[in-house]
Structure 1
Amino acid sequence: MSETLLVTGASGQLGRSVLRHLLDAQKIAPARIIATTRNPESLADLAALGITVRAADFNDQASLEEAFKGADRVLIISTGDLDLKSDRRLKQHQAAVAAAKAAGVSHLLYTSMPNPEPGSPVLFAGDHYGTEQAIKASGIAYTIFRNGWYQENLFLALPHAIASGKWYTSAGEGRIAHGARDDMAAAIAAGLASGSTDSRIHTLTGPQAYTTTEIAALVSEVTGKPLEVIQLPDEALTEGVKAAGVPEEFARVIVSFDANTRSGRISMVTDAIETLSGRKPKSLKQFLEANKAALAG
């Protein structure tokens, strides 16, 4: 099979990991890979390997159409352009879907989130749901990866919580199966390289779901430091996050994650990572042990 595979957002952490797995685990020849980014110079190391590097701007559909030319399977990595006051990110994704159709792409792949349907407490869920709908309406065969929360996201809260001994949350007894970003990248690369023509949705999670209290117990076990979980209402948690210096819009996003966990909408555990990539996903305890120094200071 000689399909050409394209990865957008190739200079980001997920994009670079996907490309590495395409080369190493999937044994895809560099000449079959296109990597796109707004700043091609940032991918000089990939170009040196023989990967085709192209400029692509999600705010410019014409640039996307040009970048996607000759690509058979295109992975759209959701952009980080969050703006709760507009639908800018959704429009970016819709432009990418339209560009893929114009370029004659045969299979679209996209990084979404679990349960993005209307009613999700996550403030940017509508961007993902709208993009999924655009992909389905395009008529192009698709693979949607609904990426669970990364283990790396715990760096947002844990270092400060460990230092103070108190972890403020509004997640209640909700469970979440954090997964390693690199494990998800391995699964996505496998899906991109698979040649599958079926339209599918895969939800990617870690191997076990925990409550915040259970995560805190694991943290204490690994670091040797006590960590008390303090449950707050969403409003009080938002004020506390703002008081820590986080801008209000991002504070609201952070708290919406906890509300989502509390609602049970991200409690699922799947075997999709292992099924797609053939590798066992890293456990939360393994992640904490590997990052003990960075978390505990």
Structure 2
Amino acid sequence: MTETLLVTGASGQLGRAVINHLLEAQKIAPASIIATTRSPENLADLAARGVVVRAADFNDKASLEKAFAGADRVLIISTGDLDLKTGQRLKQHETAVAAAKAAGVSHLLYTSMPNPEPGSPVLFAGDHYGTEQAIKASGIPYTIFRNGWYQENLFMALPHAISAGKWYTSAADGRIAHGARDDMAAAIAAGLASGSSESHIYTLTGPHAYTVGEIAALVSEVTGKPLEVVQLPDEALTEGVKAAGVPEDFARIIVSFDANTRAGRIALVTDTVEALSGRKPRTLKQFLEANKAALLG
């Protein structure tokens, strides 16, 4: 019997990419895929292809139980609610895990982050660690994907840095193996479609870990623009990010990424993307070359 695969957050970039890989690379029949979102009208194109589209609100357990009904394997893509004062995201994830158990889901999959354990400098790491604990406590066999930082996240800093000729950071000589979002989506889709009933934790990364200085050198090589790395203490960097118009809470989250890099907690390089998906991951240089025009504004 063909298993029914469900993807939450299906209107987001990662969710859509996972579904595309299920359809194209994994050759899953559209009728065996359930795509959930708060706004089903945003998935009209998937519905037209035969994918089952359902409404699901992570703040409403009843809606999640209804959405998860009949699903064998459920991928919970972490939500974008980063209000650290309320702990809302962890509550949402715990609600989804409870709904999956109530719906009789046979395998639960989740998108986490590398090294989310207590002590992580990343301000929202507790959301991921708490969700992993809730999944383990549910008794449902699980696959946890600890997604490394996306290459696409560099768009938050690089265009402005290239324009100014200076890249402000507090990451020191910490290394980070940025990976392509679509590569991680391909690996996640393969895991979702695998039928494996065993519990696994996978860390998904790009193929090479670089320091900020090494990334800046690559950027200069690709764009022809000089880019000086300026190291700052965390608080000074936070004030600079705030001065650029970023709200304080989010500025502190951004700077916590650099603190995490400096601490060596995101330097891991794995071959898991290729092992799961069967495809070579995109290198950072390939990303920069493909996005040169966008980076130069």
Normalised by the size of structure 1, how large is the TM-score?
1.00
Q: Could you tell me which residue of structure 2 aligns to residue 166 of structure 1?
A: 166
Higher mean displacement: 148-157 or 83-92: 83-92
Q: Which amino acid is the alignment partner of residue 294 of structure 1? A: A
- Counterparts of 1:285 and 1:53 in 2: how far apart (Å)? 37
What residue in structure 1 maps to residue 80 of structure 2? 80
Identity %: 85
Matches for 1:117-266 after TM superposition, within 5 Å: 117-266=117-266
1:61 partner letter: K
Matched, 1:279 2:279: yes
Residue in structure 2 matched with residue 65 of structure 1 by the alignment: 65
Deviations 1:148-206 (A, max 9, x none): 00000000000000000000000000000000000000000000000001100000000
Q: Secondary structure at the match of 1:133?
A: helix
Give the Cα–Cα distance (whole angstroms) in 1 for the partners of residues 276 and 211 of structure 2: 27
User: In the alignment, residue 190 of structure 1 is paired with which amino acid?
Assistant: A
User: What displacement does 1:258 show?
Assistant: 0.2
- Residue of structure 2 in register with 1:28 after alignment: 28
Cα distance in 2 for residues equivalent to 1:157 and 1:113: 20
Consecutive unaligned residues in structure 1, runs of 5 or more: none
Q: SS where residue 84 of structure 2 aligns?
A: coil
Looking at structure 2, the residues matched to 225 and 67 of structure 1 have their Cα atoms a distance apart, in angstroms, of: 50
Partner of 1:17: 17
Q: Secondary structure at the match of 2:294?
A: helix
Matched residue SS, 1:167: strand
For 1:45-124, list aligned pairs within 5 A. Answer: 45-124=45-124
Partner of 1:115: helix, strand, or coil? coil
Q: Write the distance in 2 (CA, Å) between the matches of 1:47 and 1:254.
A: 36
Aligned residues: 297
Q: What SS does the aligned partner of 1:2 have?
A: coil
Where 1:201 maps in the other structure, the secondary structure is: strand
State the AA in 1 paired with 2:17.
S
Amino acid at match of 2:270: T
Cα distance between partner residues in 2 of 1:137 and 1:245: 41
1:87, CA displacement in angstroms? 1.0
Structure 2, unaligned runs of 5 or more: none
Local SS of the residue matching 2:198 = coil
Cα distance in 1 between the residues matched to 2:241 and 2:48: 43
What is the CA–CA distance in structure 2 between the aligned matches of 1:120 and 1:235, rounded to whole Å? 18
Taking the aligned partners of 2:102 and 2:280, their CA distance within structure 1 comes to 38
In the TM superposition, what whole-angstrom CA distance separates every residue of 1:100-152 from its partner, at most 9, and x where no partner exists? 00000000000000000000000000000000000000000000000000000
Per the TM alignment, residue 21 of structure 1 is displaced from its structure 2 partner at its CA by 0.1
Runs of 4+ aligned structure 1 residues displaced above 3 Å come to none
Letter matched to residue 174 of structure 2: G
- Classify the secondary structure of the residue corresponding to 1:108: strand
Residue 248 of structure 1: how far off its partner (Å): 0.3
Q: Distance in 2 between matches of 1:45 and 1:243?
A: 41
Using the TM superposition, give the Cα deviation of residue 41 of structure 1 relative to its aligned residue in structure 2, in angstroms. 0.6
Distance in 2 (CA, whole Å) between partners of 1:272 and 1:143 is: 13
Q: CA deviation at 1:86?
A: 1.4
CA distance in 1, matches of 2:175, 2:108: 31
In the alignment, residue 16 of structure 1 is paired with which amino acid?
A: R
Query: AA paired with 2:177?
Result: A
Mapped partners of 1:15, 1:198: distance in 2 = 23
Q: Which amino acid aligns with 2:116?
A: P
Cα deviation for residue 56 of structure 1 reads 0.2
Taking the aligned partners of 1:9 and 1:148, their CA distance within structure 2 comes to 19
Q: What's the TM-score once normalised by structure 2's chain length? A: 1.00
SS in 1 for 2:146: strand
**Offset at residue 26 of structure 1 (A):** 0.1
Q: Equivalent residue of 1:279, what SS?
A: coil
Amino acid at match of 1:65: E
